Amino acid sequence: MTSAERDRYMSEIVPPEVRPKPVVPAKPSHVAPHSSGPFVPSPQGTGGEGRGSALLGYIGIDTIIEQMRKKTMKTGFDFNIMVVGQSGLGKSTLVNTLFKSQVSRRTTSWSRDEKIPKTVEIKSVSHVIEEGGVKMKLTVIDTPGFGDQINNENCWEPISKYINEQYEKFLKEEVNIARKKRIPDTRVHCCLYFISPTGHSLRQLDIEFMKHLSRVVNIIPVIAKSDTLTLDEKTEFKQRVRKELEACGIECYPQKEFDEDMEDKSDNDKIREAMPFAVVGSDKEYQVNGKRVLGRKTAWGVVEVENPNHCEFSLLRDFMIRSHLQDLKEVTHNIHYETYRAKRLNDNGGLHPITSSGQDTQESNL
């Protein structure tokens, strides 16, 4: 890699404002080790003299970024997203729109023979999608039956159980004697919760679900099928929803307490003020002003999914995928999973490490 390429590459990653003062490596002395000269400040943390040693001055530490990048590109990434909400709120369509592929199982319409499940089922589907040389194994976990019964008490329990089972699976593998180099990660990194666009307030079920699960998994609430709300109705509804969540002590992703520094806080504050995102999904394209766009065609116009004036789909996508995808995984691993683990350790007084190799579980071995 030429140094010009390196420079260009580095400027993509490191935002200019994060650049603290560099520590200048000490100029090599001209004298043999037993110098009785004046005390020279140590290289640690002091400014040192100017760039006199510049031509001898490049070690090459920044290249570790490229080394890491190559490695992670080879191993690939995986991401597990769960969608929760009543049937008909457009969950599958939205996920398909987010990832621009048919990654979620679709029920186009209720056929006569297709019954609403009696209890909440957990159905997961995996696909490998690729973009720009990056391979991602995307798993979409659907929860048909949630909120569809007459009596919906405790319908979050199967979901909570599933999430904890994935933590348990990971923990068991981590405690193993001969553990895999890359532990297969089936933990839920993100839970998209679909709010019905009533325009009034959150429903009791919404609050119950989020109360039980916001401390176990990253929840991102979205207002589904928001093309039934006018701009004013949208703004009011969002404000009311935010107030209600705050009143109930529910913290959705990105959680305030996990902001790492001022930069994170200011980025995340902006996102928190815009949430929940009011979205519309579609996999159909129409011609608008000479461009082909994803949208929904009605008698009164075309709702353009990716038009920020029409709905907040682009905001959701940029936030979730283009900037916070990795952070969603990290919060899951460093916080939710650790909480689960600590609880398990304290409960039993310990875990039994498994000596046998166990069953072969599928690995994200991209």
Q: Footprint of another protein on residues 289-308 (CB under 8 A)?
A: 292
Cβ 65 to another protein shortest distance, Å:
5
C-alpha dist (Å) from residue 1 to 21, 71, 72, 178:
25, 16, 18, 38
Part in contact with another protein (CB under 8 A); list of ranges 53-61, 143-151, 155-163, 242-250: 53-61
Pairing of strands 123-131, 219-223: unpaired
Among 4, 38, 50, 59, binds another protein (CB under 8 A): 59
Among 133, 151, 153, 257, binds another protein (CB under 8 A): 133
Q: Which of 217, 182, 168, 192 is nearest to 77 (CA)?
A: 182
Cβ 233 to another protein shortest distance, Å:
29
Among 47, 72, 154, 243, binds another protein (CB under 8 A): 72
Part in contact with another protein (CB under 8 A); list of ranges 158-166, 245-253, 315-323, 358-366: 315-323
The DSSP string of 99-166 is TTS--S----S--TTPPPPSS---EEEEEEEEETTEEEEEEEEE-TTTTTSS--TTTTHHHHHHHHHH
Among 68, 116, 128, 231, binds another protein (CB under 8 A): 68
Cβ 174 to another protein shortest distance, Å:
9
- Per-residue binding letters, 171-210, with another protein (x by CB under 8 A): ----x-xxx-x-----------------------------
Rounded CA gap, 124 and 162, in Å? 11
Cβ 288 to another protein shortest distance, Å:
14
Q: Which of residues 240-279 bind another protein (CB under 8 A)?
A: 260-261
Cβ 177 to another protein shortest distance, Å:
5
Tokens of 76: 């690939």
Q: At what angle do helices 157-175 and 337-348 cross, to 10 degrees?
A: 80
Cβ 334 to another protein shortest distance, Å:
7
134 contacts another protein (rule: CB under 8 A): yes
Among 151, 346, 359, 362, binds another protein (CB under 8 A): 346
Rounded CA gap, 72 and 69, in Å? 5
- What is residue 302's three-state secondary structure? strand
Part in contact with another protein (CB under 8 A); list of ranges 108-116, 191-199, 228-236, 326-334: 326-334
Q: Cβ closer to another protein: 98 or 241?
A: 98
- Per-residue binding letters, 84-113, with another protein (x by CB under 8 A): --------------xxx-------------
Are residues 207 and 357 in contact, defined by beta-carbon separation less than 8 angstroms? no
Q: Cβ closer to another protein: 178 or 231?
A: 178
CA-based R_g, the chain, Å: 25
The contacts of residue 255 (CB under 8 Å, 6+ apart) are 331
Rounded CA gap, 283 and 95, in Å? 10
C-alpha dist (Å) from residue 170 to 83, 182, 188, 274, 336:
21, 11, 11, 34, 12
38 contacts another protein (rule: CB under 8 A): no
283 contacts another protein (rule: CB under 8 A): no
Among 40, 116, 128, 231, binds another protein (CB under 8 A): 40
Among 2, 19, 347, 356, binds another protein (CB under 8 A): 19
Q: Cβ closer to another protein: 136 or 159?
A: 136
Q: Which long-range contacts (CB under 8 A, 24 or more apart) does 209-213 make?
A: 209/84, 209/156, 209/159, 210/245, 210/248, 210/250, 210/252, 211/248, 211/249, 211/250, 212/156, 212/160, 213/156, 213/159, 213/160, 213/163
36 contacts another protein (rule: CB under 8 A): no
Are residues 293 and 262 in contact, defined by beta-carbon separation less than 8 angstroms? no
- Give the interface size with another protein as a residue count (CB under 8 A): 85
355 contacts another protein (rule: CB under 8 A): yes
